[in-house]
Amino acid sequence: MKAVTWCAKNNVKVENVADPTITNPRDAIIKITSTCICGSDLHLYDGYIPTMRPGDILGHEFMGEVVEVGPGVDRSKTFMVTDKAHALRQCINCCRKGGTVSVPGVYAGIIDKFPMGPFMNKSLTMRSG
């Protein structure tokens, strides 16, 4: 699939990256229908986030459709995908301080076609179906 990746300060490009797979029982794969760039992405682009590494996928504001979930996700509910599915590596502002976007581990952004959202029972807003 294609994704917008960070290469270096002020250097991003569209690259082919591997399709995501379910690796955790509570993972979900989301087919992105629309996405945008926000101020946080500009901070990444400008090199203000020291944990960025070449190949990291950018993005966290999006809409999409859940196309696959792990066995630990309650399939009896419908999902409303929200910004909270975003996760970068252990970011300074959120993960290390337990802020709104607080997902441990190593996960990319979502300016790609099928990002993997970790721990979706916690990260998605659930609505009865």
Answer whether residue 10 is part of any domain.
Answer: yes
pLDDT at 9: 94
Encode pLDDT of 33-81 as tens digits.
777 777 888 888 898 888 888 998 887 777 777 888 888 887 776 655 5
126 found inside a domain: no
DSSP 110: S
Q: Say which CATH number the domain at 24 has.
A: 3.90.180.10
- Judge whether 127 lies within some domain: no
Domain of residue 108 covers 2-120
Question: Does some domain include residue 72?
Answer: yes
Q: What is the pLDDT at residue 8?
A: 95
Q: Does the pLDDT value for residue 112 go beyond 70?
A: no
Look at the pTM and tell me if it is higher than 0.85.
Answer: no
pLDDT at 100 over 90: no
Give me the sign of the Cα torsion angle 37, 7, 16, 73. negative
pLDDT band (50, 70, 90) for residue 21: confident
pLDDT in tens, 5-20: 899 999 999 999 888 8
The domain tally of the chain equals 1
Structure tokens belonging to residue 19: 């399709």
Closest by CA to 53, choosing from 94, 118, 110, 9, is 9
Q: Within a domain: residue 128? A: no
Beta strands in the chain (DSSP E): 2-8, 11-16, 28-35, 62-69, 77-80, 116-117, 125-128
